[in-house]
């Protein structure tokens, strides 16, 4: 069914349940809205709807939908059917973390769909190869002092060296499970026990960056190029976390010279690996995460700065087809 990019396309979104969307801020919704605006057919399913059976292509039970423009009932469903992923012009993988075993298995089903001819964004192999916390290890020139370990002794030594530190699980999202420990080490033992579960779980420890007071910046890469505006997610009410899901305030602003340096270094590398959309998290001058599963902040940047991020995304996808 592959068509040229200037003709109507059939787009499959693999996403979380549509009924759970908060459309005033949801990036997947903004992608769907722009796709429909361009005349494309929007189709949706969940990862649980995808299957493969010997002798058949990877398929899913999908929902043909039309966006209504109404906030309460934002879509109508025109049909449900089983369809092969290879028959869509593009498959947009937008299932939220955590990157658990089921997500990992899902990427293998999507890789099979790619072998059958499906065009999947982001590439499932690239999703597997870029865990969002650990992907920064490839770019040490841009990161703050960081430790990845299961060892309590290593964590205590890192704390003794760097003073105030941040500890976080490798599979969290939205700021879940993030702890700050001051130079006095208060509750460090209890936090280590909670996160690494007696040495059973690997965790990440980073030197605390005071720049968080000015926001945890989300810098978007689309088609390997930085969007000229980012969203600084500023902690509120004594919180150390700037994540919007943790109550942070989102303030859009132009990217800085340092943001651009990081983005322009990583952009071509990650795009060449099949990562159409990437969300870099930058605190001060330091890269802290590389988000590839379902990067967000389209609507906040568009609403505050007038930069149509969803249009930039579809321009890049259409150019890649």
Q: Which of 26, 34, 132, 281 is catalytic?
A: 281
128 in catalytic set: no
Give the dihedral sign, CA 40/42/43/48. positive
Instruction: Say whether 25 is catalytic.
Output: no
DSSP secondary structure letters along 122-188: S-HHHHHH--TTGGGGG-GGGS-SEEEES-HHHHHHHHHHHSSEEEEETT--TTTT-EEE-TT-TTH
Distance CA 84, CA 89 (A): 11
Residue 171 annotated as catalytic: no
Long-range (24+ apart) CB contacts under 8 A made by 55-64 are 57/84, 57/85, 57/86, 57/113, 57/116, 58/84, 58/85, 58/86, 58/109, 58/110, 58/112, 58/113, 58/116, 58/118, 59/83, 59/84, 59/85, 60/12, 60/14, 60/85, 62/12, 63/18
Q: Is 133 in the active site?
A: yes
Cβ distance 202 to 299 under 8 Å? no
150 is catalytic: no
Catalytic residue of the set 119, 133, 207, 217: 133
8 Å CB contact between 15 and 95: yes
- Which residue in the list 33, 63, 119, 168 is annotated as catalytic? 168
Cis before 98? omega within 30: yes
Is 82 designated active site?
Answer: no
Residue in 233, 243, 259, 300 annotated catalytic: 233
In a 10 Å sphere around its CB, with 0-12 CB exposed, 13-18 middle and 19+ buried, how is residue 272 labelled? Answer: exposed
Choosing from 26, 114, 259, 289, the catalytic residue is 289
The catalytic residue among 196, 218, 259, 300 is 218
Tokens 């649980």 identify what position? 48
Half-sphere exposure of 167 (CA within 13 A, CB side): 28
Active site residues per annotation? 133, 168, 218, 233, 241, 281, 289, 291
């Amino acid at each position: 069914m592959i068509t040229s990019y200037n003709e109507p396309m059939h787009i499959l979104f693999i996403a979380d349940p549509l009924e759970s969307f908060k459309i005033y801020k949801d990036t997947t919704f903004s992608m769907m809205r722009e796709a429909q605006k361009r005349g494309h057919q929007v189709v949706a399913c969940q990862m649980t709807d995808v299957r493969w059976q010997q002798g058949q292509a990877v398929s899913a039970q999908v929902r043909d939908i039309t966006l209504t423009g109404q906030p309460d009932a934002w879509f109508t469903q025109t049909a449900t059917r089983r369809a092969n992923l290879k028959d869509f012009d593009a498959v947009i993988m937008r299932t939220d973390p955590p990157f658990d075993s089921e997500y990992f298995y899902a990427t293998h089903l999507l890789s099979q769909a790619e072998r059958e001819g499906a065009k999947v964004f982001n590439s499932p192999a690239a999703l597997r190869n870029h865990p969002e916390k650990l992907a920064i290890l490839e770019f040490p020139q841009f990161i703050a002092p960081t430790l990845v370990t299961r060892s309590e002794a290593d964590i205590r030594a890192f704390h003794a060296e760097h003073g105030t530190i941040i500890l976080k699980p490798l599979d969290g999202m939205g700021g879940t499970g993030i702890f700050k420990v001051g130079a006095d080490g208060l509750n460090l033992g209890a936090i280590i026990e909670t996160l690494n579960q007696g040495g059973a779980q690997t965790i990440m420890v980073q030197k605390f960056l005071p720049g968080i007071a000015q926001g945890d910046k989300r810098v978007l890469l689309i088609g390997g190029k930085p969007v000229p505006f980012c969203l600084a997610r500023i902690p509120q009410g004594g919180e150390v976390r700037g994540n919007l899901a943790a109550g942070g305030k989102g303030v859009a602003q132009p990217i800085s010279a340092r943001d651009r340096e990081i983005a322009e270094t990583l952009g071509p590398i990650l795009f060449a690996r099949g990562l159409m959309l990437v969300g870099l998290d930058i605190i001060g001058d330091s890269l802290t995460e590389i988000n590839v599963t379902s990067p967000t902040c389209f609507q906040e940047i568009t609403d505050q700065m007038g930069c149509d991020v969803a249009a930039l995304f579809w321009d890049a996808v259409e150019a890649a087809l």
